[in-house]
Amino acid sequence: MAHVLIVDDDESIRDAVRLFLEDAEHDALEASDGVTALRILRESQQRLIVLLDASIPQLSGIDLLRVVVADPLLKERHAYLLLTGAPNLLLGEAETLLAETSAKIVAKPFEIADLLALIDDAAERLSA
C-alpha cells in the first residue's frame, strides 16, 4: 500500500483518481493547489507519492518542483509524478527539474492501469 497525494485543481479528477487508488488499496490525500500540497509535503510523516498536476493555482507544478529541488528533505522523502496535458511543452528548466527530482511525466488523458503501475514503481523506489 502506498500513500498518495493527489494535487489537482479539478475536483472531479481528484475524486476519480482517489476512488481508483482506494480500490487498489492505496491511501489518498488531496490538495487543490500548490501551496496546500507543499504544506502537506512538509508536514507528512509518511513518504508520499505525489500526483502533481502541472497547471495548478497559487504554485504551479513546476514551481512546486523548483521548491522541492531546493529542499533536500522534500526531494529525497517523496516521489513525484507530473501530470500534464502538454508533455511536449516541458522544455528547458522543466526538464532539468524533472530530472533532478526523478519525476516521471504522465500525459493526460492517462489510462488508470498505467498510472497505478507508475505508483507501484514509485512505491518500490521509496521503500528501497
User: Domain boundaries in the chain?
Assistant: 3-111
The CATH code for residues 3-111 is: 3.40.50.2300
pLDDT tens, position by position, 27-79 = 999 999 999 999 999 999 999 999 999 989 999 999 999 999 999 999 999 99
Please give the model's pTM, rounded to 2 decimal places: 0.93
Count of residues making up the chain: 128
The pairing of strands 3-7 and 49-53 is parallel
pLDDT tens, position by position, 72-127 = 999 999 999 999 887 666 667 778 888 899 999 899 899 999 999 999 999 999 99
- Looking at beta carbons, which pairs linking 103-111 to residues 24 or more positions away fall under 8 Å? 103/52, 103/65, 103/79, 104/80, 105/81, 106/51, 106/81, 106/82, 108/83, 108/84, 109/85, 110/83
